[in-house]
Amino acid sequence: MSTTRKLCVCAVCIALCCVLPPAFHAIGLGSVLSPLHIPVFLCALLCTWQYGLACGLCGTLLSSLLTSMPPAAALFHMVPELCAYGLFTGLLFRRIRTGRTALDIYLALVPSMLLGRVVGGTARVIFYLSGAEGYSLSLWVGAYFIESFPAIVLHLAVVPALTLVLMRAKLAPQRCAKEG
For residue 64, what pLDDT is reported?
96
Which distant-in-sequence residues (6+ apart) come within 8 Å of 81 by Cβ? 116, 117, 119, 120, 123
Alpha helices in 68-179 (DSSP H): 75-95, 101-129, 137-141, 149-168
Predicted pLDDT at 172: 81
Q: Check residue 34 and give its pLDDT.
A: 92
Report yes or no on whether pTM surpasses 0.75: yes
pLDDT of residue 178: 43
Write down the pLDDT at residue 72. 92
| SS3 of residue 115 by DSSP | helix
pLDDT at 130: 67
Q: In the CATH scheme, what is the code of domain 3-168?
A: 1.10.1760.20
pLDDT tens-digit map of 155-173: 999 999 999 999 998 888 7
Q: What is the predicted pLDDT for the residue at 134? A: 66
Residues of the chain scoring pLDDT < 50: 177-180
Integer angstrom CA distances of residue 73 from 78, 140, 156: 9, 17, 27
**Per-residue confidence (pLDDT) for residue 179, from 0 to 100:** 40
User: Which of helix, strand or coil describes residue 170?
Assistant: coil
